[in-house]
Structures are given as structure tokens and as C-alpha cells.
Structure 1
Amino acid sequence: MDFGIATSVTDEGIRPGVLGAAVEERGFDSLFLPEHSHIPVSRETPYPGGDLPPGALRNLDPLIALTAVAGTTSDLRLGTAVALMIQRDVFYTAKEVASLDLLSGGRVVFGVGAGWNVEEMRNHGVDPRTRGALLTEQLQALKEIWTKDEAEFHGTHIDFDPVFAWPKPARKPHPPIYVAGGGRASLERLAAHADGWLPHAVTPPEELRRVRSWLDDRGRADVRISVFGAPADPELVRGLAGAGVDEVSFLVPTLPEAETLEHLDRLKKILEPLRQE
């Protein structure tokens, strides 16, 4: 099983390049960063995990932060968990992700989700009722742009005639796409269009096993399961391994540099024995 770090990089915490180098030096395999363009002051939809994480108010753009990380690392996988694709322009996203993948030597893991903050997506002109269908078409269009010299796509929400769009990603055929969400529509999107699943750490092991079996039955045994936002609990990690999880990213709070490095050192000490099991 691979181990990663999930955290928010903000203007008040450790710089992304320093963070990435520290994560890689301590033997972690990946770094996942979240995305919010903004947080509306008034929200009708509460944060699913309870209190809104402080980092959500001040997080840097994940693709720009991960570009800084790419410059101080050589092997670390660079992930989004998750990019709010429905709030993004598909052409700019294709170019930005491909540029990061090219500059990093093919290390991008593009994790996406349909989002939870209704006010935020409405500010982007997105209808919350159709966000799932929009995300599905965006993923299809991204693949066309990344893999075709003359890409075109014709759908209900995304529609364009043939275009030229470079650079192409370094990873072939394209950076792996991971999707979040455990509902029926999300899992259908996963099986049809994605390379990995990003369930939250609170997902019960029996549900992880059920989805793994369901994917196998759909001919998608190749899908990676990457649980994100987990606490450093050895028993939890053992349970996730038994449920067929391929990777776990551990939650690190947004802290200044010295405190972050200390936190990473403690995590390494807790997790090292698990790597030997």
C-alpha cells in the first residue's frame, strides 16, 4: 500500500515547495491538495465533515502550488483531492493539467469531484441539479483534448468543433483521473470514465470491499482506490489494506513550516512499521 499526504497549502502555512520536498524526503508517495475558488459568506449547504476546515478559506490554487512542488521533487505523485472541475473551463484545465504533467515528468493524478458548496458553484454559473452530468462530459472532453491532435466533443453541456490544443501530457494516454463520491451516479462515472476512486477516510471498510467487488464485476479491476484524509491510526490502515485499498493519504493540518515538519516526522514514525507488514 502507498502512503500519501492530504493537506491545504495556504498563504499562512508552509510553502508548497518546502512541503513537497519534506514529504518526499520522508518516503511518502504522493501529495494531494484541495480546491476552492472562494467560500461564500452565506452557505445553505453545510460542510459534509462538520466544521469548515480553516484551510478551505485560504488555500492556494492547487495546480499552481503543485507546480512549485514539482520543482523541488523528483518522484512524488502530484494530486488534487479534489479539483472542482464543474467550476472550471475545460480548455484551460486541459492546458494547466497537461502543462503540470509535462513539467513534472508525468506525475499528475487529477482527482475531481462534483462539489458540495451550492453557493460556490452557483457563483460560477453552474446549475447544481446538473453538475454530475456536466462533470461526466467534462471528463470525456478532457480525454479528447489530451489525446487527439484535432479534438472535438459534442454533448449537452460541452460542445466544440475540432480544436488544436497543446501541450499534451507526458503521461500516456493521459494523467490518471480519480473521482470522488460514493453515490450511484458517482460510481457509474468512476467505472465508465476514471482510473481511480477517492473515497473519504470515513467510508466503512465493508463499503470499500463492496465497491471493489462491483468494479471487478464491471471489468474494472484496474481501478485504484485511494482513500484520502485519514488519521494516522495503524488499525485503520490495516483495515483499509484488508478492504483492498491501494493508497491512503493522511491528513496534515495547515501549519507553519517548523510545525509541519514535526508533524511529518511523527507520521513517518507511526507509519514505518506498517510498510513492513
Structure 2
Amino acid sequence: MKIGAVMFFTMESMQPGPLGQALEARGFESLWVPEHTHIPSSLSSAYPASGGLVRAYYELMDPFLALNTAANATTRLRVGTGIALVIQRDPIVTAKMVSTIDQLSGGRFLFGVGNGWNREEVENHGTAFESRHKLARERIEAMKAIWTADEPEYHGEFVDFDRMKQWPKPFQKPHPPIIVGGAFPYAARRAVRYGDGWIPRDDWLDRDGIEILDKFRAMAREAGRDPAGLPITTFRVPPDLDRLKRYRELGIDRVVFSLPAEKEDKLLPILDQWADLQVRLGA
């Protein structure tokens, strides 16, 4: 079972290069960065997780630039969006960004995607909140075409372009893994339909129970997908050795722990705690 960290990078936090090096030196597999372009001041949408919004949500750096900096400072660490809001991104531009960072990192990019909970933020980008799931699917399908065809074209309800040429193609073939974030059953269905993995938050185990894994794998088989090709990454996992062992027993592929948007003096002890857990886990 692989272990990674997710971090909200701000001007006041530890920066991507040094944090990437610290993670790699301790043997961690990956670094993930969330995405919010902004937080509307008139926000009324309910935050879906515990703890509530903090300043880092609207001080957050662009994930692709932060991750490219971390990749440039490391040699083995994988870098991933955790998650990118494709409903707020032009698919042609995003396809080039993904393939570029994948090339520059030597194939270390993980494309975590999600469809967003913040109605006001989404609608500020000209996206209708109610149809965002279909828009996301079309944009991902269109990006797959761009990554894999010499002269891709795509014709959907929301995304429509004739034959084009775009390089570079991704380093990873056919493209970096698309790992779909969100809860069961809806995000799990999206992962089965167009993803290469699924990212639920840690609370799925207590809320839904372990039977959700059988349901997800049955869902994959019913769609003609091999469940082994849809590994599960669990986000925001607490530093609990028994829980980590339980996840490993359940066949979870990767766990990701959260780091606060703080400087080195606050973060390095957390990394050392997790490095000790990693040793004790035998990961």
C-alpha cells in the first residue's frame, strides 16, 4: 500500500520543492494538491467535509504549477491533482497542461479529477451546476482523444471540436491515470465509466462500511471493467496504525494524509510521524 500527502500550498506555507524533497527522502510515494480557483464571498454552498473552510481554500496556489515545481525538485515522487476541477477548465488547454507536466516529470503525474461542490465557484466559470457531471465526462473523453490520437476530434453536447493537432502527448501511455474523486455511489460510477481509479475520503469506512468495496467491484464487473484496473486511493487518512493495517487488508492501493498549510517547523514533525507509521506498517 502506497502512502502520499495532500497539501494546500499558499504563500505562507512550506513550498512545493522543499516539501517534495522531504516526502521523497522519507520514502513517500506521492504529493497531491487540491484546486480552487477562488472562493466567492457570497458563498452559501455547504462544505461537504468536517472542519469548515479555512483561508487556504482561497489562498491556494495553482495545482499544476505547484506540482511541476515539486516534480522538478525530485526524481521519484509522483505528483497528483487531488483533485482538479475539470468543470472549471478548458479541456484543450488542460490536456496540454497534463501532457506537459507528465513529460517534464518523466511520467510521474496522477490526474485526480472531481466535479465540485461549490455552486457559486462553479457558476462563476460559466458552468451550469446541474449539468456539471455530463460536462466533466465530455471534457475527460475529449482530453483522452487529444492524448491518444494524432488528429483528435470530439463532438458532444458541451465539448465540440473538429480534427486538430496537439503535442506533446503524455509520457505515460495511453495517458496518466485518471482517478475520480467523490463518494459512493455516484463518483464510483463515474470512476467505472471513464476513470482508472477511485478516490473516496476516509469517512467512507465508518459511514458506508466495508461492504461498499464489494459493491464497487461488482459495479466494475457489471460494466465490463476489471476491478484490479480501478485501484482505490483513500484521502485524508488519520495517523492510526490499526486503521492503516485495515486498509491494507481490504486491498486499498494508496492512502493519502493531510498536511496543514504551515511552514517546515510544523510539517516536518508530521512527516516524521508518518514515516514511523510507514516503517511499522512495512509499506
Task: Tell me the CA shift for residue 265 of structure 1.
Answer: 1.1
User: 1:210 is matched with which residue?
Assistant: 215
User: 1:19 is matched with which residue?
Assistant: 19
Where 2:272 maps in the other structure, the secondary structure is helix
Where 2:83 maps in the other structure, the secondary structure is coil
CA contact (8 A) 1:178 1:198 kept: yes
| 1:70 counterpart = 2:57 | no
Identity %: 41
Q: Deviations over 1:213-233 (max 9, x none)?
A: 432454322111011111111
CA contact (8 A) 1:209 1:243 kept: no
Q: Deviations over 1:149-196 (max 9, x none)?
A: 101000011000011111111111101100012244422221121101
Deviates more, 1:243-252 or 1:122-131: 243-252
RMSD of aligned residue pairs (Cα, Å) = 1.4
Matched residues in 1 for 2:278 and 2:10: separation?
Answer: 26
| 1:263 counterpart = 2:264 | no
User: 2:170 is matched with which residue?
Assistant: 169
User: 1:134 is matched with which residue?
Assistant: 135
User: 1:195 is matched with which residue?
Assistant: 196
**Aligned residue among 234, 252, 269 for 2:241:** 234
Matched residues in 2 for 1:213 and 1:31: separation?
Answer: 30
Q: How does 1:14-93 map to 2 (within 5 A)?
A: 14-50=14-50, 51-93=52-94
Task: Tell me the CA shift for residue 13 of structure 1.
Answer: 0.4
Task: Tell me the CA shift for residue 259 of structure 1.
Answer: 1.9
CA contact (8 A) 1:31 1:78 kept: yes
Counterpart AA for 2:192:
A
User: 1:7 is matched with which residue?
Assistant: 7
User: 2:226 is matched with which residue?
Assistant: 220
Task: Tell me the CA shift for residue 41 of structure 1.
Answer: 1.1
Deviates more, 1:87-96 or 1:263-272: 263-272
Q: How many positions carry a matched residue from both structures?
A: 276
Matched residues in 2 for 1:246 and 1:54: separation?
Answer: 31
Task: Tell me the CA shift for residue 58 of structure 1.
Answer: 1.0
Matched residues in 2 for 1:260 and 1:186: separation?
Answer: 31
Structure 1 unaligned spans of 5+: none
Matched residues in 1 for 2:138 and 2:186: separation?
Answer: 13
Q: Deviations over 1:87-128 (max 9, x none)?
A: 001111001111100000001100000000000001000000
Deviates more, 1:130-139 or 1:242-251: 242-251
Matched residues in 1 for 2:171 and 2:74: separation?
Answer: 17
TM-score by length of 2: 0.94
Matched residues in 2 for 1:54 and 1:24: separation?
Answer: 27
Task: Tell me the CA shift for residue 242 of structure 1.
Answer: 2.5
CA contact (8 A) 2:16 2:69 kept: yes
| 1:186 counterpart = 2:193 | no
Q: Which runs of 4+ in 1 moved over 3 A?
A: none
Matched residues in 2 for 1:137 and 1:28: separation?
Answer: 34
Matched residues in 1 for 2:261 and 2:44: separation?
Answer: 26
Counterpart AA for 2:281:
L
